[in-house]
């Protein structure tokens, strides 16, 4: 879980929009799709490891930045597109 004070200062590296925690339902859906081999990140790399959580852009909710080992991965190419999930 991300500390609330840290979450307030985190922003999307591309759009600078604020981020919010993804719901546990969304994380579960993404992890199911990862397990089935259906998830690619923006860098067009297949995501093979489940994620612990995620941060979504608050306004448009187009991308999720994964959280792995309690560390948010705020790299544009690592973002997971949410269209169709």
pLDDT on residue 45: 98
Which residue's entry shows tokens 């941060």? 55
pLDDT on residue 26: 98
Beta strands in the chain, from DSSP E residues, in sequence order? 19-21, 53-57, 63-68, 71-72, 80-81
With H, G, I as helix, E, B as strand and everything else as coil, classify residue 4.
helix
pLDDT on residue 9: 95
> pTM, whole model, 2 decimals?
0.94
pLDDT in tens, the chain (85 residues): 788 899 999 999 999 999 999 999 999 999 999 999 999 999 999 999 999 999 999 899 999 999 999 999 999 999 999 998 9
Residues 6+ apart with CB under 8 A from 51: 27, 30, 31, 34, 66, 67, 68
Task: At 57, list the tokens.
Answer: 């852009």
């Amino acid at each position: 879980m991300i500390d609330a004070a840290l979450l307030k200062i985190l922003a999307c590296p591309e759009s600078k929009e604020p981020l919010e925690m993804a719901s546990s339902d969304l994380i579960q859906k993404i992890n199911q799709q990862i397990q089935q081999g259906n998830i690619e990140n923006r860098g067009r790399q297949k995501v093979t490891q489940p994620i612990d959580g995620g941060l979504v852009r608050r306004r448009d909710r187009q991308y999720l930045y994964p959280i792995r080992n309690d560390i948010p991965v705020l790299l544009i190419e690592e973002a997971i597109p949410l269209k169709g999930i």
